[in-house]
Each structure stands twice: as structure tokens, then as C-alpha cells.
Amino acid sequence: MQTSKDRNSMAQYQAVHLVSVLLSAIMVLAAVCWATSNIGEIAPENRAVVLRLGALNRVQESGLLWALPAPFEKVFLLPASATVLEHPINGLLRSPAARIGDADVSTQSDALAGSGYLLTADASVVQLDVRVFYRVTDPFAYALQQDHVLPALDRLATRSAVVICASRDLDSILVARPELVASDNGAAERRERLRADLVNSINSSLSALKSKGMGLGIEIDRADVQSALPATAVNAFDQVLTASQQAEQAIASAQNDAEKDRQGADQNADRIVQVAEAKSSERLAKARADTATVAGFASARGSESDPGLLWRLYRDRVAQILSQAGSVVTVDPRDDARLILQGADK
């Protein structure tokens, strides 16, 4: 028969064996998890960069990834080449302290007064809200600089915006004075070209960093730019715009009145001309009627007509004409005597 001591020894042995088996199972499970820690599926919108002992080993596109566990191989998940990422440029925004100081301008410092404002070529100021859309073109460089990509992109975009605004006047960035650019067809084109110039400037800076071995591994596809005037200048520009619109309305009203006056003058002139033409036609007809008899006798006079008929008609008519004159002096055309007429007194 087994003694109590033998039974205790057996129980202890079984307990130790159970603990050892459990620990062995845990160690095997941990080893399996560690060995398969870098094995997984990569989503279609991602890709993986595999570093083996710190050196670039391969770039794995979407699908199943087989990689050695850490520290032998390290895996970085990055966006796919077709994935476009969005990032707002916070360096161009007005700081919170400056926005608080806008309520009391007298207490605002000079350092905060210019926060978020960009100087233009015509000594004006403008605010830009920029969002850039970029793609990862160099996975290895992006993986190495991943923690510094967005801060560096902020600085590069801010620098490019400062340079571009300094090379343009205010109306080439936004429509602040429409009365000055109404006849300038190239102003709208320059405003549309602002986005393309900003993208090209940022990409040039990224290329310069890449040529120096400090590339960020990204490329800018496009940029959305919203421009605005400072709040303190909006009222002044609104007043100028209102005044210019009122002036344009006054000019248009004056032009309408002038056109009405011109049309009225043209109508009066046409009426006067028509009345004058009608009166001249009437007078001409009356003169022809008055001289019709004499002209008829003169044209019909021949060898068989009475030679004294025309003179009798003349004497009959001339008496009526001369009766309307105050005084009449007659001169015989066949008399060669000299006639002296009294002139005006001097």
C-alpha cells in the first residue's frame, strides 16, 4: 500500500509536470506568434516596405506578405502609389493667439499682427488657406522620413506661397478691386495659374531635397487654394466696391438720359427738316403757279401771236407788285443818261 508520503510526492510530481507542460505550450505559442508576426495581408490601398536589418530589402504591393519576424525584418505600411493623400498647410493659418488679439488690436504685438498674412507685390496683404494632395512616389525615402514628412511639407508649402504671393499683385490672387481688372482679360488666367505655380514650386523644392539625398518620397498632385482679405480690410474694400458700383450706376443712368436727349433732338431735327421741305415744296408750287401764266405766254409766243400781249400782262401784274413797295424808282433801260442815287448817310 502507498503511504501518504508517496502520495504527496506523486501529487507534487504531477503538478510540476503540468506546469512545465503549460509553460512549454505558452513558449511554443509565443514562438509561433513571434515567427508569424510579420505575415499578413496588405490592403489594396496600401503597400509594405520591408527592411532587413535596417537596409531596404523589398517593396511589397497589396496581397499576402511573408516576412521574417523582428528584429530580422521590419515592415512599414505605406499608401499605394495611386492613393492620393490630403494635408492642410497649417503654417499659413493665423495663429490662435493672433485671432484672440484681433478683438483688441491695441494690445496685439507686432509679431502676432502679421501672423497668417502674406505680402503681395503691390504691398497688399492676403490670407491663403491651402490644402495639398500628394502621392508617395519613393516608398523607401518616405519610410525613412515618415515622422518628418508632414512638418517638412508644411514648411515647403509655406515658403512657396510666400514667394508666389510676393511676385503677384493682389488682383492676380483674388478679385479685390473689380473696377481695375474689368478690362484686364489676363487677370482671371493669372488667378487660375496660381494653383499650378504653387504645385510646381513645391515639387521643385522636393526635387532639390531629393538631389541632396534628403528626399521625402512624395510628389504633389494638386493644391486647393482659398484666398481672402484680412478682416480689417474687408470693410474698406466693400466700401470701395459699393462706391464704384454706385458710380457705374450713375454713369449708366447719365448715358441713358443722354441717349434719350439725343433721340429727342434727332426727332425734332427730322420734324423740322420735314416741315421745311414741305413748306419749300409748297412755296415752289405756289411760285410755279404764279408764274405759270407768264411762262405759258412766253413759251407760246410766236410770229402770229400778239407782240404786245406779254407787255400788257407785265404792266397788269407789275402794278400789283409795285403797289406793295414804299417807293419805286424806274429807269428806262434805253436811256443812256446817268442816274445818281442817294447813298446811306455816314
Same domain, 205 and 256: no
Same domain, 62 and 72: yes
pLDDT score of 344: 54
Domain count, the chain: 4
State which residues of the chain have pLDDT below 50.
1, 346
Same domain, 96 and 201: yes
Domain for residue 4, yes or no?
Answer: no
Is 210 in the same domain as 341? no
- Domain match, 174 and 223 both: yes
Alpha-carbon distance 219 to 204, whole Å?
A: 10
Q: Give the predicted TM-score (pTM) of the model.
A: 0.57
pLDDT score at 208: 92
pLDDT at 336: 63
Where in the sequence is the domain holding 316, given as residue range(s)?
A: 306-345
Could you tell me if 253 and 139 lie in one domain? no
159 in a structural domain: yes
Give every CB contact of residue 129 below 8 A, 6+ residues apart in sequence.
Answer: 88, 92, 93, 225, 226, 227, 228
State CA 64 to chain mean position distance: 49
**The domain that contains 107 carries what CATH number?**
3.30.479.30
Domain co-membership, 296 together with 246: yes
Same domain, 94 and 198: yes
Q: Which of 122, 123, 124, 100 is nearest to 113 (CA)?
A: 100
The pLDDT score that the predictor gives to residue 302 is: 55
The 10s digit of each residue's pLDDT in 24-70 is: 778 878 777 766 666 666 777 778 777 777 667 777 777 676 666 67
| pLDDT at site 219 | 92
Mark whether 244 and 153 lie in a shared domain: no
Q: Would residue 1 count as lying in a domain?
A: no
Cα gap 272→291, rounded to integer Å: 28
What's the pLDDT score for residue 105? 52
The residue out of 76, 99, 117 marking a domain boundary is 76
Task: Give the burial class of 216: count Cβ atoms within 10 A of its Cβ; 0-12 exposed, 13-18 middle, 19 or more buried.
Answer: buried
Q: Supply the pLDDT for residue 67.
A: 67
For residues 106 and 143, the answer to whether their CB atoms sit within 8 Å is no
What confidence score (pLDDT) does residue 20 get? 79
